Amino acid sequence: MNKTQRLIELLLTMNTRQKFTLKELAERFGVTRRTVLRDLDELSALGVPLYAELGVHGGYRILKERTLPPISFSEKEAVALFFASQSLQFYRALPMESDWQSALAKFYHVLPDDVKERIDKLQRRLLFWVPAQTWETAHLPALLEGAIEQRVLRISYESETGRRERNIQLIGLYAMNGKWYCPAYDFRSSEYRLFRADRILSVTDSPDQTMRKNHDKLLIADWFSKDQEREENVAEFELKVQLTRRGVLLCSNDAWLGSGLTVKEDGSGYISRRISSGYMTWAASFFVSCRGDAIVEEPQELRRMIRDQLRELITIYEEE
């Protein structure tokens, strides 16, 4: 094994172990302790965050932010990774904002000049655009960490009806049209609900973690593939909506409505799916904005809410 191969193998070995000694590494690679020490010094000079502990039970460890070994990419792979990362640039907030920018800068820096030139040309002609966010989303890192560790979070949430404290357990986070959303189980209403991340004003761990639900088999992708509210026996209704061609286009832009959308040969269509009580207020406002291009047939409660909103608008804009 030559030196370059040994350094890569050494880095891989250290990344998989909490702690190691010179003796263990020397025996693992069949070299002297002096050689291992020189290799560690070289890795440290390259930026590997090594930490030495003195004493009888001492040794070496890599600090929490470990350095990954080098990986070879083809030109097409390098360009694809660059633009996949760059597509995040229009999001005002990201769970790992500084990390992706730093990684992209490092990645671009080590590329050959001809690949850099190719990327520069593509940047002038190719753009993954999303609407710019104007809302502050300060708690994305805490929300993502809570989702990963499946902790119950105590949040302060600003909704249309005012600010309230809630205990929630996130399924995960997703971004759509420049906004971040948090599907979560709401312990206050005992149902799954969708929260806008920019409306979450504060996040802390709930002091009571005993209420935590088992989400091991519930993934963020499942939010789009099935109705989570069915699992909790909460109030739900059959949603039936007739759509014009324009109505189909409007509803297809929403992932939740799109999952129940059927398009006819003439371009018109209809929506048939379940809707929980927690979605009714949002649905009423949405279908009012569609005007005559979306006619809600069921449920009757949603039709009533639409009539109430229309009466309120008439009162506001009625001439004296």
pLDDT (tens digit per residue) in 267-278: 999 999 988 877
pLDDT at 135: 66
Q: pLDDT for 200-241, tens place per residue?
A: 999 999 999 999 999 988 888 887 665 544 445 456 889 999
3-15 and 22-29 helices, crossing angle to 10°: 130
Q: pLDDT for 85-97, tens place per residue?
A: 666 666 666 666 5
Contact 320/274 with Cβ under 8 angstroms? no
Contact 8/19 with Cβ under 8 angstroms? no
Q: Which DSSP state fits 291?
A: G
- Could you give the count of Cα atoms lying within 13 Å of 202 in the half-sphere of its Cβ? 9
For residue 194, give the H/E element and its range.
Answer: strand 191-196
Percent share of the chain, pLDDT over 70: 82
Look up tokens 């291992």; give the residue.
36
Nearest to 151 by CA among 108, 181, 184: 184
As a whole number of Å, the CA-based R_g of the chain is: 27
Contact 197/139 with Cβ under 8 angstroms? yes
Q: pLDDT for 277-295, tens place per residue?
A: 778 888 999 999 999 999 9
pLDDT at 66: 52
- Is the per-residue pLDDT at 257 higher than 50? yes
3-state SS class at 87: coil
Contact 181/174 with Cβ under 8 angstroms? yes
User: CA-CA distances (angstroms) from residue 86 to 99, 133, 219?
Assistant: 12, 16, 26
Q: pLDDT for 22-77, tens place per residue?
A: 888 888 888 898 998 888 888 777 667 777 777 666 677 776 555 555 666 777 77
Average pLDDT over residues 7-19: 75
pLDDT at 68: 56
pLDDT at 97: 57
- Bridge partner list, 243: 269, 294
Nearest to 241 by CA among 275, 198, 270: 270
Say what the pTM is.
Answer: 0.57
For 140, counting Cβ atoms within 10 Å of its Cβ (0-12 exposed, 13-18 middle, 19+ buried), the class is buried
Dihedrals phi, psi of 260, to nearest 5 degrees = -115, 15
Would you list the DSSP string of 202-224?
EEEE-S--TT----TT--TTHHH
Mean confidence (pLDDT) of the chain? 82
pLDDT at 243: 97
CATH fold, domain 140-231, is SH3 type barrels. (2.30.30)
Dihedrals phi, psi of 26, to nearest 5 degrees = -60, -45
pLDDT at 147: 93
Q: Is the domain defined by 3-62 classed in CATH 1.10.10.10?
A: yes
Look up tokens 């009625």; give the residue.
318
